[in-house]
Structure 1
Amino acid sequence: MNEAPAVSVRILIVDDHAVVRAGLRALLEGEPGFDVIDETGDGEQAVLLAGRHRPDVVLMDLRLTQGGGTGSDAEVGGITATRRITATVPGVDVVVLTSYGNRGDVVRAMEAGARGYVLKAGPPEELFRAVRAAAAGGMGLAPEATAQLVGGTMSGGPVLSERELGVVRLLAQGHSNRAIAGALHLSEATVKTHLVRIYRKLGTENRASTVSEAVRRGLLEIGG
């Protein structure tokens, strides 16, 4: 008649706001079946802790404040940290928790290997469901994220690569091809090739319309 005790889902919280981390910890630890094993506000540290603790799920803030670490790879945001964890730490799944629900963010999170996407403003039940789904090997998406993915699939809209997004971000800042090449350590010819591909994917013809279209699609946010 003795039943084996239920195994708790071990969670690592990654968010650059201490108050948010405290709130998430209290929320998760108040739910049966969850065990918060550690927390951090730094993307680089998140990768290290994921490798050290091997949690079942990493709850990842999508937009970590950059520059919190040390060394050449100090600026590790949520997407980069997610990609590193899913690529180098087997058996650890990532659920993205963010204030944003635009299609560009959702798709980039999924491409980085995240198995869940939940909005901070959503009900706690969505968070719990996403964490449990990821831990069980499934996908846990908030309704808003699902709608963005379905809408993107139906429209057939192409998604820019990380390198192409980097080019567009620099375009939005008014940089020339030469400046973009210098910033991204590319040749000017390579930058021009990227621009041709970006124009084709977004259906644009010049730099200004490309930036406008990227903003419209949620791939780029001006001033934020």
Structure 2
Amino acid sequence: MDTWNVMLIDHDRLFSAALGTLISSGPFRICHYAADTGDAATAVERGSEPDLIVMALQDGSAEELAGIKRLRTATGARIAVLADEMLDRSLSLALRAGADAYLNKSMSSESLLRALQLVMLGEVVYPTHVASLLIATANERPTPTRATPTNNELSKREVQILRCLLAGQSNKAIARNLHITESTVKMHFKNVMRKINAQNRTQAAVWAIQNGLSPLVNA
């Protein structure tokens, strides 16, 4: 079995030490501990060659986003983000910066190790509500788009429909939630797809996350 070198990024040394011990119980070897992305980037510039970078997200700030982007440019290592909460805003930031995984700190040790191994096998690991959309349309093999509407901005209703999509709702469920007909939902979806240059629901969901939208359970 391959052993991958891991760089851990977290200002909390105690947490990093515990996480390092946990990760080392799998096919991983800790090669460097960094307090922040600046420290990590400096280590890479000085010759550190991690296969995987695991970063504990603090507040999803612009500085952290810039740090992830800097690491993405500086190294070909896979990047996994650990967050205290599954917040769509910070998920959006992580995706925009090029992270390969967005994981919850509260997940079990077994799930964490399995997720990190999947990342090293080339998979991209999303939260459950996004992963379900990707699995549902796996045969479509979409290429995520980051297009932004240029000629026509999304209407309030179209934004609501995208948010319902992120919540994993079918057209029928969206119609019931928004108190409109299913044919109206389909019409809005057609308009949304055209505006954001998406070819399917998965691309639309990824675009919505990348542009800061959050799931809408009840209108």
Are the counterparts in 2 of residues 107 and 149 from structure 1 also a CA contact under 8 Å?
A: no
Between the aligned partners of 1:34 and 1:119, the Cα distance in structure 2 is: 19
Aligned counterpart for 1:93 among listed residues 78, 82, 102: 78
Distance in 2, matches of 1:24 and 1:100, equals 17
Checking the alignment, whether the CA contact within 8 Å between 2:60 and 2:90 is kept in structure 1 is no
- Preserved CA contact (<8 Å) 1:93 1:135: yes
Q: 1:147 to 1:59 in 2, by over 3 A?
A: same
Whichever residue aligns with residue 24 of structure 2, its letter is: E
- 3-state DSSP class of the match of 1:53? coil
Distance 1:11 1:84 in 2: 17
In structure 2, what is the equivalent of residue 200 of structure 1?
A: none
Aligned to 1:129: 114
Which residue, out of 60, 68, 80, partners 2:66?
Answer: 80
**1:158-197 matched pairs, under 5 angstroms:** none
Higher mean C-alpha displacement, 124-133 vs 54-63: 124-133
RMSD of aligned residue pairs (Cα, Å): 3.3
Shift of 1:156: 2.6
Please report how far the alpha carbon of residue 54 of structure 1 lies from its aligned counterpart in structure 2 after TM superposition: 1.8
In the superposition, relative to structure 1, how do residues 56 and 143 fare at CA in structure 2: closer, same or farther (>3 Å)?
Answer: same
**Structure 2 residue aligned with 1:37, among 15, 31, 35?**
31
Measure the CA separation in 2 of the matches of 1:114 and 1:103: 14
Contact (CA 8 Å) 1:41, 1:64: kept in 2 or not? no
Residues 39/65 of structure 1: CA separation in 2 closer, same or farther (3 Å cut) = farther
Q: How far 1:145 sits from its partner (Å)?
A: 5.9
Compared CA separation, residues 148 and 82, structure 1 to 2 (3 A): farther
Partners of 2:213 and 2:160 in 1: how far apart?
Answer: 17
How many percent of aligned residue pairs carry the same amino acid?
19
CA positional deviation for 1:217: 4.5
State TM-score, norm by structure 2.
0.56
SS across alignment from 1:86: helix
Q: State the TM-score, normalized to the length of structure 1.
A: 0.55
> How far apart, in 1, do the equivalents of 2:133 and 2:10 lie?
23
Distance in 1 between the 2:160 and 2:121 partners?
A: 28
Q: How many residues align?
A: 145
Name the structure 2 match of 1:156.
162
Partner of 1:16: 11
Q: 1:49 aligns with which of 21, 24, 43?
A: 43
Q: Distance in 1 between matches of 2:44 and 2:161?
A: 36
Which consecutive residues of structure 2, in runs of 5 or more, have no partner in the other structure?
Answer: 136-158, 164-211
Whole-Å separation in 2 of the counterparts to 1:146 and 1:116: 11
| Aligned twin of 2:138 | none
Change (3 A) 1:104 1:25: same
Of structures 1 and 2, the one scoring higher in RCO (CA 8 A, sep 6+) is 2
Contact 2:44 2:74 in 1 (8 A): no
Contact 2:8/2:32, CA 8 A, preserved across alignment:
yes
Structure 1: segments with no counterpart, 5+ residues: 1-5, 67-74, 158-214, 219-224
Post-superposition Cα deviations, 1:113-162, rounded to whole Å, max 9, x if no partner, equal 00011110111122212221222222123426646999xx99435xxxxx
